[in-house]
Amino acid sequence: MIDFEYTAPTQLDDAISQLSEAGDRARILAGGTDIIVQLREGLQSADLVVDVKKIPELTQFEFTAGQDLQLGASVPCWQVYENSEISAAYTALTDAVHIIGGWQIQSRASVGGNLCNASPAADSIPALIALDAVAHIAGPAGRRTVPASEFCTAPGRNVLEKGELLVSLTLPAPGPHSGSAYQRFIPRNEMDIAVVGAGSYVRLDSDGQKIEQARIALSAVAATPVFAEEASNWLAGQPISEDVFAEAGELAKKVASPIDDMRGPAEYRTHLVGVLTRRTLATACERART
Amino acid sequence: MSTEFMTEHSTEYKVIGTRPVRHDGSDKVTGKAVYTDDLHLPNMAFGAFVRSPHAHAKIVSIDTSQAEDMPGVLATCTSADLPDPWDKVDDLGEGCVNYAHLSGNVLARGKALYKGHAVAAVVATDSHLAEEAASRIRVEYEPLPATTWVLDAMKEDAPLLHDDLITHTLDDAPAKPSNIESHIRFEKGNIEEGFAAADVIVEREFKTATVHQGYIEPHVSVASWNEDGRLKIWTATQGSFVVRQQMAALLKMPISQITIVPCEIGGGFGGKISVYEQPVAAVLSRKCGRPVKIIMRRDEVFEATGPTPGSFMRVKIGATKEGKLTAGEAWLAFDAGAFPGGVIGPGCMCVFSCYDLPNAAVDGFDVVLNKPKTQAYRAPGSTHVAFAAESVIDELAVQLDIDPIEFRLKNAAVEGTRRVDGPVYPRVGLVECLEAVKNSEHWKSTLSGPNRGRGVACGFWFNAGLKSSVTASVNPDGTVTLVEGSTDIGGTRTSIAMQLAETLGISAEDVIPQVADTDSVGFTDVTGGSRTTFATGLAAHEAALDIQRQMMERAAQIWECDTGDVEVREGVYRGNDESLTFSELALKADSVGEAIIGRGAVDPQVSTNAFAVHLVDVEVDPETGKVTILRYTASQDAGTAIHPSYVEGQIQGGSVQGIGWALNEEYFYDDDGHVRNASFLDYRMPTCYDVPMIETIIVEVPNPDHPYGVRGVGEVSIVPPPPAIASAIQRATGIRLTDLPMSPPKLWRAINNGE
Amino acid sequence: MAIVYIPPQIQKLTGAAQVEVSGSNVREIIEQLEQRFPGIAARLCDNGQLSPALQLSVDQVMTRMLSTKVESATEVHFLPVIGGG
Amino acid sequence: MKTHVSTTINGEAVEFLCQPRQSLLEILRDELSLTGCKEGCNNGNCGACTVILNGLPVDSCLVLAVEVEGANIETVEGVAQQRQLHPVQQCFLEGAALQCGICTPGFIMTSKALLEKHPAPDEEEIRFSLAGNLCRCTGYDKIVHAVQAAAESAPAPK
């Protein structure tokens, strides 16, 4: 690994100025489970590594008055799934962070880092998109927000400009009669990269008979995790049934343009979109009803 | 515990068959055990390799000057720094090696033959610096066409790896060079007549992907080539003496100038026999005058060391409607990797080794192509061919509507069965393993539920004898220090010590086993071939008898009687109306004479013939093609289980390696001949969340060639899992998969095409 | 007389799959074979040693030593070498 | 440029100098001679380098040494107390839950962390929690049994 300078600012402004100054040569370190590997393998290089785990805004999480979750960007996976309030409200996210790497990875890897790493196969991103999360970005020009669905721009690339960093994510309160789920397909049962991942969120009517709103997002089927808009919109007003889930799965396939690689052939991945969309919708509806 | 025993041996042993805590165990659970990478010698420097980015390329030039100019960089080396190799084939006990090929694999000469082939190396004062310096060594390549699939490499117009490679065959040698390194043929009986007598014939083609041994410890060595000309190497190896032998040949120096210190070793499975980084660390040490450590990165381990061959196989077997096998034919092509010396020989010998087959023909081809040089991997060659032959056997059982265990029992090899390659079996335990599975609770249980199936398969491996040496010294406190040359990969210090203890009538804890370097013990072949508990155990038994003889003499001297009047039973020496326990006599003996030192040196030239039968229940998700192992039972003939826990451990470990091979492990090659998954993330070995408990049934049909009946247990358990799982999938889905691994996309596709 | 199992690829030299040969060890057996079937020794041996790709099965003994003793009715097989993991 | 780091390892205050690029694994092994944690892959896929960092198991190859300023680290060297093996160690030993032993320190650390969090895990939890640790020798059977046995034995001294 080529050596670099390391800094661990305690103030957001300091981080922004350090990042701005180093420009392209700076990399952000949160849990380090991706960036350290990439630096070591020469996939990335840096003159400056900015550790953001000492900045309070990035390490905290809280529920706002409106019951939205404000999740600091460097909060590690384990804090998400071990928090009973978060794991009750945002089950899709909990599903995802519980299977990112093994336990050792979850001790360090952050949800924000998983988003910033912008892997097409990231586990938490479909969950964030399904849960309609919004990313809060701070930089030299001030603050801005970007929906999670628009945060990634290409494999390994995101919307962050020079000097910017992800501060936190807002996950809207899921609302009554709602449920969500994330599932991925992997050949092993753990320690694997998604062949396809799917996150689904549903809000049902008060009788729990019909879907009022749905959001489906997919990973590992395009250059970035994608929101399956048509399938999501179509679900609004549909009754809860296996046929409906299957139809949504067919519609979700429309946004899938996967590649053939060692993790799975394209045709198989497209097929899995249907399977996982159906399965996550079923789980999300079941959770919404209980 | 779920272990069952089916035993024929005398149960009067005091030590054998018990489960003492292993001697090196405490050090290994506390982190105190010293593995090679744990060494930090004074003034030590660190080496790094430059490797070919091409699967096949002419090396036009190598410029090391930029690297050498970096502060902290001490030296570089290329193949020019190795002596011109002998074009000589040497016997490493576990197979032969041509030193010209070995040298060319250690550092490429003229051509790089696979992606990751070592081309140059550099040593620096720290490991990061060495890595940076390696990136500044400029190598100019002229890329050549490459091939990574065995049938492609066999074609007439395939790019040749070696211009001078003439097929080795007992037949007339071909006139032209090719990538076909060898052609073997066996015949037995008359296959035309055999197939004519069959009521049912099944013929299928099979493919298996390249897989890696997957040991967790990377290859690592520390070399110190001193000013007096002596070379000392600490290394992770299965066989310190064969490392010494290879080093002496590659560096053209006398073996007496070389000391190999085997450190604790983090797994090998056949992959840590050949040398890789050791000669390079040595040359760099000579050039810089410091001890040099080289540890491979994990991607280097995958790209440049030990995979086992990919293969193409065609197997045809016929049987009568009563279920008697009449004939078998096999055509096998294995890839050897970039250099000759693959495992087609044992592949050919094992393909029909489980059965009494009256008529058969086997053709086998070993083929070089642009992949890393293959190495042995646990029962090398046998897993491939068992996948093919056992799948066909199972399909015959299905077609004949005969229970798969009964079908195998009707045809199982027994004492007196002549193998297709010629020799006749002595007493073997296949029938006993089949009966053990048939009588198991697992087999008798009902498997219900959709998409579930149960499969069974047999496996065979020869097991080796070879050379082993020990010395054993009696201490005045009644303990015995046992010095052995076998590196301990999985508890063999204890399984060997237990045999010494049994013979002497002392406890396992009263033996202090030590693995010694090559200057401190006699020649010992590798820890491999399932041979260590068998052969080094035999040496320990000999040493114990030697001690016993000396102890009897000493007792006679003390009691002033004839040695012939002294007798010993279970460690108590009696004579002249007196008696002394081993430890009492040890104390007295010490005060009246010279040290008592026993020696054992053996070279048993036998195969101990291990058989295994596995039973597996699977569930298939038809929507994803994913297979879940629900239940697994493995029976194996251990001869005698010296330490049953470690016998179970070998069976369980081999089974799970076989499960990995069956379901997910493979090298993914792209069109450029590059491995795309050279990491533990994407080379999917089973985690503990992927497998159930592995139930074991230890069958004990004692080996007539060993005083305690040991057969060795290390290898055969990897053989049955792929065909057993294939058959279970067939029962679950109706689909017979013939390509390994039987990964989810493949099974999904097969299910889909079937619909 | 030892019974030598002739590998199929050189049976065209012997015209038979098994040949009975006298000799007290494998080296003498091969010498005898060479006298009867000229050219066979070159297929089996290399510089006076067993070819490096081969091993012998002499009844139950697996070896590469040409000095291995043979007795009456001993079976001699020429087999590929085996490596183990 | 080297950075000064103060930390606590196995209950003792430890200071070291490191380059920012050096991993915690590297510093533990090469600078502090705590060679019990092993390098298996150096990219977070095998768990052989597992240590407990502020109460949580982590792959020490994926932690920069400069990050552990003020942290509390437990390594396999600190698991046995007063010359007494920890129940996890004892059960691995008695249950033959190791063969070559290279993965063992990592498994000991993750298992210890598991039992501190869930004193009575079922087989599913054990297997899920240990999935980040690869073993190529044992087939995991005896490892899972050893953790079960450790859970059944007296509570671990903390």
D85-135: per-residue pLDDT in tens? Answer: 999 999 999 999 999 999 999 999 999 999 999 999 999 999 999 999 999
Q: Please report whether residue B438 resides in a domain.
A: yes
Instruction: Answer yes or no: is pLDDT of B412 > 80.
Output: yes
The SS3 call for residue B520 is coil
Do B646 and D99 count as a contact with CB atoms less than 8 A apart? Answer: yes
CATH architecture of the domain covering D3-77: Roll (3.10)
- CB contact at 8 A, B280 and B47: yes
Q: What share of chain A is helix, strand, coil (3-state, %, to 5)?
A: 35, 25, 35
d(CA B386, CA B461): 10
Q: Do B617 and B732 fall into the same domain? A: yes
Could you give the C-alpha distances from B471 to B486, B523, B699, D113, in angstroms and in order? 12, 12, 31, 43
pLDDT in tens, C18-61: 999 999 999 999 999 999 999 999 999 998 899 988 999 999 88
Could you give the C-alpha distances from A247 to A130, A178, A252, A270, B682, in angstroms and in order? 18, 20, 9, 14, 33
Q: What share of chain D is helix, strand, coil (3-state, %, to 5)?
A: 35, 20, 45
Chain C residues inside the 8 Å CB shell of B715? 84-85
Chain D residues inside the 8 Å CB shell of B72? none
**Is the minimum CB–CB distance between D31 and chain A shorter than 8 Å?**
no
Nearest to B345 by CA among B103, B170, B173: B170
Q: How far is B114 from chain A (nearest CA, A)?
A: 19
ipTM > 0.85? yes
d(CA D3, CA A5): 10
Nearest to B555 by CA among B567, B543, B546, B544: B567
Q: Please report whether residue A84 resides in a domain.
A: no
Q: Please report whether residue B322 resides in a domain.
A: no
Chain B residues inside the 8 Å CB shell of C64? 91
Which one-letter amino acid corresponds to residue D19? Q
Domain boundary among B568, B602, B636: B602
Do D64 and A29 count as a contact with CB atoms less than 8 A apart? Answer: yes
Q: Please report whether residue A130 resides in a domain.
A: no
Chain A residues inside the 8 Å CB shell of D56? 78, 107
Q: Do chains B and C touch (3 or more CB pairs under 8 A)?
A: yes
Domain boundary among B576, B602, B628: B602
The enclosing domain of B626 has a CATH number of 3.30.365.10
Report DSSP letters for B420-462, one per residue: TTS-B--S--HHHHHHHHHTSHHHHS---STTEEEEEEEEEE-
DSSP B533: I
Q: Do B712 and B629 fall into the same domain? A: yes
Range of the domain at A202: 178-289
- Give the residue from chain D lying closest to A45, CA to CA: D21
CATH fold for the domain made of C2-80:
Ubiquitin-like (UB roll) (3.10.20)
A 139-178 residues with CB below 8 A of B? none
Domain boundary among B575, B602, B629: B602
Q: What is the largest CA-CA distance in chain B?
A: 88
Instruction: Answer yes or no: is pLDDT of C85 > 70.
Output: no
- Average pLDDT (B443-452) is 97
Instruction: Answer yes or no: is pLDDT of B151 > 70.
Output: yes
d(CA B735, CA B751): 7
pLDDT band at A225 (very low <50, low <70, confident <90, very high): very high
Count of the separate structural domains present in chain B: 2
Q: How far is B541 from chain D (nearest CA, A)?
A: 23
pLDDT in tens, B212-267: 999 999 999 999 999 999 999 999 999 999 999 999 999 999 999 999 999 999 99
pLDDT computed for residue D46 by the predictor: 98
pLDDT computed for residue D158 by the predictor: 46
Count of C-beta atoms within a 10 Å radius of residue B734 = 12
Count of the separate structural domains present in chain A: 1
Q: Please report whether residue B692 resides in a domain.
A: yes
Q: Do B485 and B444 fall into the same domain? A: no
Percent with pLDDT over 70 in chain D: 97
Q: How far is A63 from chain B (nearest CA, A)?
A: 35
Q: Do B733 and B683 fall into the same domain? A: yes
3-state secondary structure B108-146: CCCEECCCCCEEEEEEECCHHHHHHHHHCCEEEEEECCC
The enclosing domain of A196 has a CATH number of 3.30.390.50
Q: What are B500's two structure tokens? A: 């010494």
Count of C-beta atoms within a 10 Å radius of residue D4 = 10
Pick from C9, C52, C75: which is nearest to B170 by CB?
C9
Do B298 and D40 count as a contact with CB atoms less than 8 A apart? Answer: yes
Chain B residues inside the 8 Å CB shell of A1? 128, 131
Nearest to A106 by CA among A79, A86, A77, A71: A77
Q: Please report whether residue A206 resides in a domain.
A: yes
d(CA B752, CA B741): 18
Query: What phi and psi, each to the nearest 5 degrees, are found at residue B140?
Result: -100, 125
d(CA B750, CA B622): 10
pLDDT in tens, A125-153: 999 999 999 999 999 999 999 999 999 99
Nearest to D99 by CA among B707, B656, B721: B656
pLDDT computed for residue D154 by the predictor: 64
**Is the minimum CB–CB distance between B679 and chain A shorter than 8 Å?**
no
Nearest 5°: the CA angle D72, D74, D80 is 140
Do C9 and B343 count as a contact with CB atoms less than 8 A apart? Answer: no
Q: What are B545's two structure tokens? A: 């008898």
- CB contact at 8 A, B721 and B616: yes
Q: How far is B474 from chain D (nearest CA, A)?
A: 27
pLDDT band at A65 (very low <50, low <70, confident <90, very high): confident
pLDDT band at D155 (very low <50, low <70, confident <90, very high): low
Instruction: Answer yes or no: is pLDDT of B618 > 90.
Output: yes
DSSP B535: I
Percent with pLDDT over 70 in chain B: 98
Do B655 and D139 count as a contact with CB atoms less than 8 A apart? Answer: yes
Pick from B98, B184, B528: which is nearest to C85 by CB?
B528
- For the structural domain made of D87-152, what CATH number should be given? 1.10.150.120
Do D19 and B215 count as a contact with CB atoms less than 8 A apart? Answer: no
Instruction: Answer yes or no: is pLDDT of A33 > 80.
Output: yes
Q: Please report whether residue B140 resides in a domain.
A: no
Pick from D43, D67, D129: which is nearest to A103 by CB?
D129
Going by DSSP bridges, is the β-strand pair D50-53/D72-74 parallel, antiparallel, or unpaired?
Answer: antiparallel
Q: Please report whether residue B584 resides in a domain.
A: yes
Q: Please report whether residue B587 resides in a domain.
A: yes
The SS3 call for residue B158 is coil
Parse chain C into domains and list their residue ranges.
2-80
Could you give the C-alpha distances from B119 to B47, B105, B112, B449, C77, in angstroms and in order? 13, 9, 7, 55, 42
- CB contact at 8 A, D65 and D16: yes
pLDDT in tens, C3-22: 999 999 999 999 999 999 99
Q: Do B630 and B657 fall into the same domain? A: yes
Do D92 and B29 count as a contact with CB atoms less than 8 A apart? Answer: yes
Query: What phi and psi, each to the nearest 5 degrees, are found at residue B39?
Result: -75, 140
Q: Which residues of A touch D (CB under 8 A)?
A: 1-6, 8, 29, 32-33, 36-37, 39-41, 49, 51, 53, 78, 101-105, 107-108, 189-191
Give the residue carrying structure tokens 């298939």.
Answer: B620
Could you give the C-alpha distances from C75 to B744, C23, C36, C71, in angstroms and in order? 48, 12, 18, 9
Q: Do chains A and D touch (3 or more CB pairs under 8 A)?
A: yes
d(CA B584, CA B591): 11
Q: What are B608's two structure tokens? A: 């101990």
Could you give the C-alpha distances from B635 to B2, B126, B643, B660, in angstroms and in order? 12, 49, 16, 19
Q: Please report whether residue B523 resides in a domain.
A: yes
Chain C residues inside the 8 Å CB shell of B380? 82-85
Range of the domain at B469: 465-602
Mean residue pLDDT of chain B comes to 96
Instruction: Answer yes or no: is pLDDT of B292 > 80.
Output: yes
d(CA D49, CA D39): 6
